[in-house]
Structure 1
């Protein structure tokens, strides 16, 4: 029997070795336990492509954690980041993959955030204001953005921004970058006219119109990428 695979990708740069790398995660169901019970578990293998090196794709090893198979990874501090799960206790964590050592590490999530909210598929990790952040939804669709002011230090997490639900625009959002005056450029997923500026202080929202955006292919065939984090 052939099991279907799921794929996710990440792209980043490590200044220590001056290398660009593409990381591909391949997720498959694997038999586990007694054969007659036909139990299946998820296994994720990591493949790394280093620009300018041969062979191109290097099969690395199994992932000790379980990454959430989202469309985008967050590149920050020479590592890629995903929300994931600890295989031992099932808790939600941030998983980092160092692009120099090609080692996985676990980054703790904030103690006071809504753990049930982080279990939603549209929650994710972003970079805002030069800090690693977690986007956390509550039961009322309010979005709290937690910022890790000192990378790797659990005690440095603070609730930095809150985005209140917007009338008619409650689709999952993805913050892209921090603008001046505590404004956040956000992308509303699944909408054609999907880019807005949200003012944290005034809770005002402004639509950004992009010429001929409606004439582009369906929404799932393209996405926005933040190249410069701060303006």
Structure 2
């Protein structure tokens, strides 16, 4: 197969099946336009199992948000071109569209949005041209009306560049990874509106490690 590329990956767990899955999206140019299909690998099974067309189009992004037994990416509705959240259920292996906040629809076509999981909620992060980051939380999963703008990270000047909120601590500090640069882990105090650099002794070169959250964010 020619002219294909992989543009989105994800790793997640489904509590109903007790299975871990790696999922990748493969894109290919067709006479009718771009086509994307999903391929997946279940931990403990011998081969990639899924080969299913994606009814939506996923944006180019380095990771998926794993939440509620599904992987989530920003994507595009093929019918009207609007920006949406696309979910892929790890049990049924079906796609769904997750509603986005009404207050954000006029800005969603910009490239500086991300889907993440924070504080036990599916969230959207709007980087506002990297001057600040507004974090919208879906307090009840799947319910459009439950979206609220819960956090604003500012001043954001010290965190210019691609970044990723990782975790909300009990003291309302948000751990943030500033990607691609050394010493890239920060804590932002929501109450004090202050950013702190977190220094880790004997850390390997930045290109050889990545920050991940391994604590259950729903507790």
Length-normalised TM-score, structure 2: 0.91
Any gaps of 5 or more consecutive residues in structure 1?
A: 33-40
Q: Paired residue for 2:17?
A: 17
Paired position in structure 1 for 2:5: 5
In 2, the alpha carbon distance for the partners of 1:77 and 1:206 equals 31
Match of 1:142 in 2: 132
- For residues 45-65 of structure 1, what are the alpha-carbon distances to aligned partners after superposition, in whole Å with 9 as ceiling and x for unaligned? 1011112224x1123211001
* Deviations 1:27-80, CA, capped at 9 Å, x for gaps: 122223xxxxxxxx22111011112224x1123211001111211101100000
CA contact (8 A) 1:6 1:28 kept: no
| TM-score of the two chains, using structure 1 as the length reference | 0.87
Mapped pair 1:126 → 2:126 = no
Q: Distance in 1 between matches of 2:51 and 2:130?
A: 41
Tell me if structure 1 keeps the 8 A contact 2:155–2:194.
Answer: no
Which of 184, 197, 212 is the aligned partner of 1:225? 212
Q: 2:98 maps to which residue?
A: 107
- The structure with more radius of gyration: 1
Correspondence 1:53 to 2:28: no
Specify the alignment match of 2:84 in structure 1. Answer: 93
CA RMSD of aligned residues (A): 2.0
Does the residue aligned with 1:112 lie in a helix, a strand or coil? helix
Is the 1:45–1:61 Cα contact (8 Å) retained in structure 2? yes
Q: 1:153 to 1:52 in 2, by over 3 A?
A: same
Which stretches in structure 2 are left out of the alignment for 5+ residues?
Answer: none
> Residues of 2 paired with 1:185 and 1:217: CA distance?
17
Aligned counterparts of 2:127 and 2:23: Cα–Cα separation in 1: 27
In the alignment, what sits opposite 2:157?
167
Number of residue-to-residue matches in the alignment:
218
Cα distance in structure 1, aligned partners of 2:161 and 2:129: 14
